[in-house]
Structure 1
């Protein structure tokens, strides 16, 4: 009797695990659709997250990071801007200067991203990247104004790669910035916006 009960319990647990796995997969698939929706809004940023993901992994390899961190960089890079799904198109696609209120809404996207991705264990290791990729080395970034090494290291990698891709990609209001100028800008803000160590490693790829 007890053996039958135990057997039935194990069977039900197996079913529950299968269902949970399926739900996790559907959740991740849904998040991927949301990510692609964000990029589809603006043709000038299409492919941005894919490039940030790829560049982050390349920089991580250059920094001799372990495989676990490289995987986290890959996923974090793909989904770092997922929170922009909560920003109105009128702000996200605006070509003129943002008002203070509009910029305040833009600065909410890391928090919104964590709220979206925090519901799945799959994204747990990526959350620091999502939340802190706009922090600056001098403490003037957002959302938490973290400074220096208080900023999670993988988020610091994503930060400089994010800026690099933004400058080397065409926008509706400007053409691609020449690589030499991009390097000058990254060097200018090394130690204030970016971790200097990451700039030196990135420079080897330019």
Structure 2
């Protein structure tokens, strides 16, 4: 119970700083939990992954407001700041013995299946399992959310993007599961946002 309370407190701190990031984290954690279920994982095996999804962007608390809240696309220098958020998040979580199991998952949620991600350039099975699941759910939410500079993708457009980058950005096994169970993992979250 204390474990869950700590995670809820961290999410509340993030929400106080940035409403979009907090809502994004909730959507990603909901999708992550359903993806874990569809992948056949037992609750005790995915509990840390689900909680890591709740706090995967906590490191953004250390990113300057001017960058975090910029309404336009970021330039290269600003992206270099954004790319620091997984390490900042892992550092925050590592301070608590209770939350340390979440730190490695949070640290690597922007790694890519082909090794082109950050911060460590890990690839394939070197990327923690939970981080691979969160990476996919994180990308789906980014694509299916409106931005100042572009409209949200439709469900079908998003599925095509996931298939296109399966085996490049994302673990193909997880992508296949998510696409096959889209109605359970993704649709319930966006059903009121757009026609699916």
TM-score range, shorter-chain basis? 0.7 to 0.9
* Unpaired runs of at least 5, structure 2: 183-196
CA distance in 2, matches of 1:36, 1:157: 23
Instruction: Provide TM-score, normalisation by structure 1.
Output: 0.80
Relative distance call for 1:63 and 1:109 in structure 2 (3 A) is: same
1:18 corresponds in structure 2 to none
Partners of 1:44 and 1:172 within 8 A in 2? no
**Looking at both structures, which has the greater relative contact order when contacts are Cα pairs under 8 Å and sequence separation is at least 6?**
2
Matched, 1:59 2:35: yes
Provide, for residues 43-79 of structure 1, a one-character-per-residue CA deviation record: whole Å limited to 9, x for no partner.
4444111111111111111111232222112210100
Instruction: Show the 5 A alignment for 1:182-201.
Output: 182-201=158-177
Q: Which has the larger radius of gyration?
A: 1
| SS of residue matched to 1:47 | helix
1:83 corresponds in structure 2 to 59
| SS of residue matched to 1:125 | helix
Partners of 1:44 and 1:171 within 8 A in 2? no
Matched, 1:205 2:181: yes
Partners of 1:45 and 1:171 within 8 A in 2? no
More deviation, 34-43/180-189: 34-43
CA distance in 1, matches of 2:144, 2:137: 11
1:74 corresponds in structure 2 to 50
Over aligned residue pairs, what C-alpha RMSD do you find? 2.1
1:146 corresponds in structure 2 to 122
Relative distance call for 1:83 and 1:157 in structure 2 (3 A) is: same
* Unpaired runs of at least 5, structure 1: 1-24
Cα deviation, residue 95, structure 1: 2.4
Aligned residues: 182
Relative distance call for 1:29 and 1:65 in structure 2 (3 A) is: closer
Provide, for residues 140-176 of structure 1, a one-character-per-residue CA deviation record: whole Å limited to 9, x for no partner.
0000000111101111000001111111222233332
1:170 corresponds in structure 2 to 146
